[in-house]
C-alpha cells in the first residue's frame, strides 16, 4: 500500500515508518501541512495526517471527544491520538486500506 505520512516530529516519522515498512508499505513523508496538501494530489491508498502541523494544520483539534467528532465530521475515517503503538497503527492501516478486491482491481 502507498501511504502519505504528514508529520513534523522526526521521532514520530521514524516510529511510523518502522512500524509500517515492516508490513511492506511504501511510505512517502512530508513534514508540514502545506507540503502534505500539495503531495496529497499524488496517488495514495491512505493518508496519515498529523493534526497540529507547521504552515497548515490538519485540523485544529485535540483528543477531546468533541474534537474527535469534529474531525470525523470533517471527513477523517479514523482518529488515533499519540502516543500510538506500532500495533495500533498497523491495525488502523489494515482496516482503512484498500480491500483485497480493490487492490486486485475487482
Digit-coded pLDDT (tens) for 20-34: 998 899 999 999 888
CB count, 10 Å around CB of 75? Answer: 7
Q: Where are the beta strands (DSSP E) in the chain?
A: 2-6, 26-30, 46-49
Report whether 17 contacts 25 (CB < 8 A).
no
How far, in Å, CA of 42 to CA of 106, rounded? 22
For residue 101, the model assigns a pLDDT of 37
Longest dimension (CA), the chain: 39
Percent residues over pLDDT 70 in the chain: 84
For residue 22, the model assigns a pLDDT of 86
Question: Would you say residue 51 has pLDDT above 60?
Answer: yes
Average pLDDT over residues 9-30: 93
Question: Would you say residue 106 has pLDDT above 80?
Answer: no
pTM for this entry: 0.69
Amino acid at each position: 500500500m502507498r501511504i502519505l505520512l504528514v508529520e513534523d516530529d522526526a521521532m514520530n516519522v521514524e516510529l511510523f515508518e518502522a512500524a509500517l515498512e515492516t508490513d511492506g508499505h511504501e511510505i512517502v513523508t512530508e513534514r508540514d501541512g502545506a507540503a502534505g496538501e500539495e503531495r496529497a494530489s499524488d496517488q495514495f491508498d491512505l493518508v496519515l495526517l498529523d493534526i497540529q502541523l507547521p504552515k497548515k494544520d490538519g485540523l485544529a483539534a485535540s483528543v477531546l471527544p468533541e474534537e474527535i467528532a469534529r474531525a470525523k465530521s470533517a471527513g477523517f475515517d479514523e482518529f488515533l491520538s499519540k502516543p500510538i503503538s506500532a500495533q495500533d497503527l498497523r491495525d488502523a492501516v489494515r482496516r482503512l486500506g484498500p480491500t483485497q478486491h480493490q487492490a486486485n482491481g475487482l
